[in-house]
Structure 1
C-alpha cells in the first residue's frame, strides 16, 4: 500500500510498497481520510525523534510497540471502516470514524487507574509505530475506533487536539456560569476555549498573535479576547468578574511568561489546569498560591475523551468547521504541509492532509 513514512530528521518519504496491515481478531481495518498536522509532526521533521514517544533509530525500538524507524506518520486522523475482525461489534464497513491514537501498557498503575495517557510506555499511532493516518489502510484495536455519525471526516480529524482541551476542561471540574481564562490561542488553546463555551462558561482568552485573536472573535469561542502586550489583563479580569478574579485558568501554550498572569487572575480558591508542555522548569510565585489557596493540576493529553468530545460536536455545542484553515494533499506533505506550516504558524489554526 501507499504510505508516508518517517525515517528521521528531515527524512519523510511517500512509499508505494508498504505491506498492508493485518486485520486480526478485535481489530478494525480503516481507510484513513484526513489527518491533522500537529506540532509533534513539525518537531519530528525539523528536530528529530521525540523519545520516549517515538522510536529513535532503526535499531532502538519503542518500549511499547517494539517498532523501529521508519514508521508511518499521522496521529490525528479520521476515516472509514473497511472491515471488522472477529469479535468486533458496534462497527461495520462504511462507518465514518475517528481514531483515538493513544494507548498504554495496560499493566502499570496509571493504566489500571484508567490514565493510559500517563503510562510510562505510552504509545501513539503515527508517532510510536503501529501504523498511522497517512496511509491507505491501518488496522486499529476496536476500542480505539469511534463512530462519528454525520460529522464531516475533515472535521473529525481534529478530535485528537479537541480531546486535549476536553480532557483538561472536564478534569478541572468547571461548570456552567463559571468564568475561565485561557492562556494561549494556538490550536489547543482555541479548542479548549470552544469546549469551555460548550459547557456554558464565560471565556476570556489572552493571545499575542492578532490573527488568532481575530479567529477567536469570529468563531465566537470567547467572550473577551485580550492582547496581553497592549491591554491590562488583570484590569479586564477585574472588570468582568466584579473584582473577584476568574474561577479557572487554563495554560495552553507551554510558555513560562503565561503562568504568572494566570495565577494572578485567579480568584481566592481558584484553580489552574496546565495543558501546555513546558520544556524547562517554570519559576512560580508560591506565595500567591499559598495566600489565595489556589490549586494547580496537570493535564497531559487525554484518556477516554473521544465519546464525550464527539457528543459535544454532535449536539452542536462545538463547531469545528472554522478551525480548518488549509487542506493539503499527502503527496505534497513536506512542501505544502510541514515546510509551509513551519513558516506560517501564526497564519494557520489547523491544516488537514487528505490521503
Structure 2
C-alpha cells in the first residue's frame, strides 16, 4: 500500500509499504481522509519532536522513518477476535494515543499524560497518511451517518480545543481571548461559543485568517501590529482583563500579550507546541496570582466532540480549505502550509482514494 513516511526534516516520501495486520484487540481501518496537523508541520520543519529517531519508541518499538497522519476518518475493514465495540463496515475515527496503561498518569485515568505517550502517526506503528492503518479498539470511535468522513477528520483537532476548555476550567459567561486563528485557534473559538462564552476576543494579525475567525464566532478582532492588545482587553472588560486566555500560536509575543491582558487570578491555557524556549517575567504571574496551565491533546473528549459536531453545536464550516491526493502531500500539502500562501489555509485534508476527489 502507499504511505507518506517522515525520514528527516523536509524529507517526507510517499512510497510502497507493507499493509498492516490486525492484532487480537485491533481494528483495521481503510482511511478516507486525514488532516495535516500543526504537529506534522513542526516535524517537517524542525523535527524530530515526537518522532523517535535513533532510539525506538518504548510502546511502538519503531524508529524513523515512520508513517505520518493522526487526524483521520475511515471505514472498518477487519477486526481482531477480541474486539466488541466496532464491526466491519462501521464508520469511525481513531483517537491516536499510544499509552502504556501502567504509569501513575494512566492509572489515574489521565492517559494523555502517559509517561511513554506516543501518537499514532508520529511515534510509529502506522498512521493516517496511508491506505490502511490498524489501532487498538479502545481508541476507535464510531461516528454517525450524519457526519461526513471529511468533517470527521476534524474531530481530532476539535477535541484538542474542547479539552483545553476543560483544562482551563472555563465557565459559562466568561470573556475569553484566543491567540491565533489557525485550526486549533478556530476550533477553540467554536468550542467557546458552543459552551456559552460571553465574549470571544481573537488576537490575529491582518490576513484572511481574521475573516475565518469572524466566521467561527469571534466577537472582537485585535491585530497586535495595530493596537495595544492588553490595553484593549482591559477596555472591553471594564478595566479587569480577560477571564481566560488560550495560546495557540507558539509565539513568544502572543504568550506575553495574553498574560498581560488577563485579569488577576485569570487563567492562560497553553495549547501550542513550541520549537524552543521563550522568555517571560514570572512577576506577571506572581503579583497577580494568574494561572498558566498546559493542555495536551485530549482525554475522554472524543465522544463529546463527536456528539457536538453531529448535532451542529460545533459546525466547523469552512475549516477544510483544500483537498488533495496522498501522492501530492508534499507539494500540495506541506509546501503549501509552510510557504507564502499558508495564511490562506485552515485545514488541508488528504486522501489515499483518488475517487473521493
Please give the range of the TM-score, normalised by the shorter of the 2 chains: over 0.9
Determine the structure 2 residue equivalent to 1:86: 81
Aligned length: 349
- 1:217-228 equivalences in 2 (<5 Å): 217=214, 219-228=215-224
How far residue 100 of structure 1 moved from its aligned partner, in angstroms, is 0.8
Match of 2:349 in 1: 352
Aligned to 1:135: 130
In the alignment, which residue of structure 2 is the partner of 1:20? 19
SS, match of residue 321 in structure 1? coil
State which of 201, 209, 214 in structure 2 corresponds to 1:212. 209
Corresponding residue of 1:158: 154
Q: Which runs of 4+ in 1 moved over 6 A?
A: none
Structure 1 unaligned residues grouped into runs of 5+? none
What's the offset of the Cα at 1:325?
Answer: 0.7
How far apart are residue 330 of structure 1 and its match?
Answer: 0.5
**3-state SS of the aligned residue for 1:338?**
helix
For the residues of structure 2 that align with 1:252 and 1:140, how far apart are their CA atoms?
Answer: 28
Q: CA deviation at 1:291?
A: 3.1
Q: 1:116 corresponds to which residue?
A: 111
Partners of 1:274 and 1:299 within 8 A in 2: yes
Contact 1:166 1:309 in 2 (8 A): yes
Contact 1:97 1:147 in 2 (8 A): yes
User: Does the Cα contact within 8 Å between 2:246 and 2:271 map onto a contact in 1?
Assistant: yes
1:321 paired residue among 312, 317, 320:
317
Structure 2 residues without counterparts, runs of 5 or longer? 353-357
> Following TM superposition, by how much is the alpha carbon of 1:48 offset from its aligned partner in structure 2, in angstroms?
4.2
**Equivalent residue number for residue 256 of structure 2:** 260
Question: Taking structure 1 as the reference length, what is the TM-score of the superposition?
Answer: 0.92
Once residues 44 and 274 of structure 2 are traced to their aligned partners in structure 1, the CA distance between those partners, rounded to angstroms, is 20
Q: CA deviation at 1:264?
A: 2.2
Deviation by residue 1:255-289 (Cα, 9 ceiling, x = unmatched): 11112221222222211111122344433333332
Alignment partners' CA distance in 2, 1:315 and 1:290: 42
TM-score (norm 2): 0.92
Tell me which of 263, 268, 276 is aligned to 2:272. Answer: 276
Q: Residues 240 and 99 of structure 1: is their aligned pair in 2 closer, same or farther, counting only changes over 3 Å?
A: same
1:313 Cα deviation from its structure 2 partner: 1.0
Q: What CA distance in whole angstroms lies between the structure 1 residues aligned with 2:278 and 2:42?
A: 22
